[in-house]
């Protein structure tokens, strides 16, 4: 079964997927809750609404803000890396067959055997096929038929 799709990764969609991915991880959820608590306690202490013993309200506020803003910082770094190579934001053609997949972009062509796709993840409207621990291809699921999606998923061997 051979088929191709052409799609373009939108920066806004990429940002949504990044936030979705981060907030699916329990430690980001816990860090956000902890950051909110630290920030709320330091603000309430500052206005003498509560008298909660803390080491330093200013330090707690800075730490709370850092914990709240760390996902945003991660997403901003990822977006800056994405923007550093304009090819990633232009149209790409993905071709799938029994052996693997190929990706043709503005300035590159890559081919991957199914054995080299180490994991798959569905986030929002994308199926992400990872060929390294941190890098993968964003496949727009809305451009695939249900049979094509099942075909791709069946080719990925869980490791």
- Which domain CATH number covers 126? 2.30.29
Total tally of structural domains belonging to the chain: 2
0.85 surpassed by pTM:
no
pLDDT tens, 84-133? 887 888 999 999 999 999 999 988 999 999 999 999 999 999 999 999 98
| Domain assignment of residue 116, given as a range | 3-8+87-155
* Residue 54 banded pLDDT, cuts 50, 70, 90: low
**The dihedral of CA 136, 139, 140, 145: what is its sign?**
negative
Instruction: Give the residue from 88, 133, 86, 126 showing the smallest Cα distance to 110.
Output: 88
Residues 79, 130, 118, CA angle at the centre, nearest 5°? 155
Same domain for 28 and 75? yes
Instruction: Give the residue from 88, 103, 102 showing the smallest Cα distance to 10.
Output: 88
């Amino acid at each position: 079964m051979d088929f191709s799709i052409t799609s373009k990764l939108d920066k806004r969609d990429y940002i949504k997927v990044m936030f979705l991915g981060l907030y699916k991880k329990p430690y980001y959820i816990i860090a956000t809750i902890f950051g909110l608590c630290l920030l709320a306690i330091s603000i309430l202490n500052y206005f003498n609404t509560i008298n909660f013993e803390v080491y330093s309200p200013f330090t707690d506020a800075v730490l709370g803000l850092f914990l709240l803003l760390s996902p945003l910082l991660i997403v901003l770094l990822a977006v800056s890396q994405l923007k550093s190579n304009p090819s990633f934001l232009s149209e790409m053609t993905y071709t799938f067959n029994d052996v693997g997949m190929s990706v043709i972009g503005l300035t590159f062509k890559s081919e991957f055997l199914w054995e080299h796709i180490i994991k798959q993840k569905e986030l929002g409207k994308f199926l992400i096929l990872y060929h390294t621990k941190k890098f993968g291809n964003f496949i727009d699921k809305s451009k695939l038929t249900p049979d094509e999606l099942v075909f791709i998923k069946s080719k990925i061997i869980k490791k």
